[in-house]
Amino acid sequence: MRLIVEKFKGIFPAFYACYDEEGNISESRTKQFANYLVSKGIQGLYVGGSSGECIYQNLEERKLTLRYVAEAVGHQITLIAHVGAPSTRDSIELAKYAEQLGYDALSAIPPIYFVLPEDSIYHYWTDILESTNLPFIIYNIPQTTGYNLSIQLLNRMLQHGKVIGVKNSSMPVMDIERFKTASSNNLILFNGPDEQFVAGRLMGADSGIGGTYAVMVELFLKANEFISSGDIARAQQIQSDINSIIIALCSLNGSMYSAIKEVLKKNNMDIGSVRKPLQPVTGEDLQKIDEIKAMIDQAIAKY
């Protein structure tokens, strides 16, 4: 277990969908972006999650991204494949594919669309984790799935030795502590809400997986370092800068991810735009991108 824990400790950007100008998955952009993030010193990547626009992609597209990332960065970092999909069958296909590619772990949201009973969620996750030999990380994100992980279901899932962690995106940071305690501290907890990264770490999260990391990864790496060395005051300052940036990223007509992708373009990292129904930034939004990029650059320069 100790070895495994070390592998999953640190900063894990949620990887973005990288499209070409026609909106198809781009091999060169995917590989370039993965290498760019590795060069920043991240611990690993969370591939194919919400930020990867998984919900708007077909299985073949999701497999392409999983493959291009693995080919680009190999075993230099820890790779987590998010395989949540509308059907168990599709999730298992993605899970087996990720295992073949050499991914280090699987992760999945609960079933979406139909509000299914907890027993169905249990079987969905169990079917996925029994389909490979990989460790499994539960993804709890009630604000998008409508289901908030209960201690009862967590305890049931823990009977599978393969469950090594929870990526918790619910807003109460107390959930992080409760999940950790329920497992007698045997689970790796990943903080989900980037706006509460510092709080999540202080409540027991070992690591973070986040949708905004990749556009300002230096800030999360630094905050993580400050927490580890006990410099809480400076970690709090970074969190405050991060939150102002996230609020700005979310203040445009275009989706947060389209704003992030425009900022990345200004950093010479063109990974295309977002897939509809996510809206691209246009018109007056575009002017605000320069201001947001300046906020990010200034914050990075401060620490």
Stretch binding ligand MN9 (CB under 6 A), from 139-147, 215-223, 262-270, 272-280:
139-147
Q: Are 187 and 179 in contact (CB under 8 A)?
A: yes
209 annotated to bind ligand: yes
The reply on whether position 244 binds ligand MN9 by CB under 6 A is no
The reply on whether position 209 binds ligand PYR by CB under 6 A is yes
**Binding residue (CB under 6 A) for ligand PYR from 46, 124, 197, 257:** 46
SS3 content of the chain, % helix, strand, coil (to 5): 55, 15, 35
The reply on whether position 214 binds ligand PYR by CB under 6 A is no
Q: How far apart are CA 138 and CA 154, in angstroms?
A: 9
- What is the set of active-site residues? 139, 167
Q: Which residues contact 61 (CB under 8 A, 6 or more apart)?
A: 24, 25
46 binds, among ligand PYR, ligand MN9, none (CB under 5 to 8 A by kind): ligand PYR
> What is the number of the residue whose Cβ is closest to ligand PYR?
49
The reply on whether position 143 binds ligand MN9 by CB under 6 A is yes
Residue 152 CB burial class (10 angstroms; 0-12, 13-18, ≥19): exposed
**Amino acid at site 192:** G
The reply on whether position 14 binds ligand PYR by CB under 6 A is yes
Nearest distance from residue 66's CB to ligand PYR, in Å?
13
Task: Output b/e per residue, 239-271; b: 16+ Cβ within 10 A.
Answer: bebbeebbebbeebebbbbbbbbbbbeeeebbb
Nearest distance from residue 38's CB to ligand MN9, in Å?
20
Q: How many residues bind ligand MN9 (CB under 6 A)?
A: 13
